[in-house]
């Protein structure tokens, strides 16, 4: 049996209870439905080639989507090599800083390839090295 993620317009029309049934808390389910509606109506463009900074701003404007999620989506969905979820706990610990701003300052030299740095830090942390 195979399963496919529903298209954005279908997810945008889904009842919140249906989305919660996959194990999501209500606020996260609502954020997912809101995101699907924004993608379906064109407010958020997640297609390859979309402007990543515009997409990040559009994502952050949605309720329930913060900077970490917006940067992660830009890294993964848009394949943006400069996406940087500086608020990530693993990233901040690896960079030996306590704030997002400090992480961004520490990683500034990695521009425009910060996403690769993040992936390396996550990989190192998960492998214990």
pLDDT score of 2: 57
Catalytic: 45? no
The candidate with the shortest Cα–Cα distance to 91, out of 67, 129, 125, 65, is 125
48 and 72 in one domain?
Answer: yes
CATH of the domain at 46: 1.10.340.30
Looking at every residue in the chain, the average pLDDT score rounds to 94
Tokens of 106: 């520490």
Range(s) of the domain holding residue 120: 89-126
Question: What are the pLDDT digits (tens) for 48-60?
Answer: 999 999 999 999 9
Q: Is residue 45 part of a domain?
A: yes
What value, to the nearest 5°, has the Cα angle with vertex 43 and ends 42 and 46? Answer: 70
Given 76, 98, 116, the domain boundary residue is 76
Answer whether residue 67 shows pLDDT above 60.
yes
pTM: 0.88
CA-based torsion, 12, 13, 16, 17: positive or negative: negative
């Amino acid at each position: 049996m195979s399963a496919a993620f529903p298209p954005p317009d279908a997810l945008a029309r889904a009842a919140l209870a249906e989305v919660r049934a996959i194990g999501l808390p209500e606020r996260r389910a609502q954020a997912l439905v809101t995101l699907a509606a924004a993608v379906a109506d064109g407010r958020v463009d997640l297609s390859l080639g979309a402007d990543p900074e515009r997409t990040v701003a559009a994502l952050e404007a949605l309720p329930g989507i913060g900077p970490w999620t917006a940067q992660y989506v830009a890294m993964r969905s848009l394949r943006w090599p400069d996406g940087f979820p500086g608020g990530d706990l693993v990233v901040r610990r690896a960079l030996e800083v306590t704030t997002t701003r400090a992480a961004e300052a520490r990683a500034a030299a990695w521009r425009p390839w910060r996403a690769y740095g993040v992936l390396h830090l996550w990989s190192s942390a998960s492998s214990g090295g």
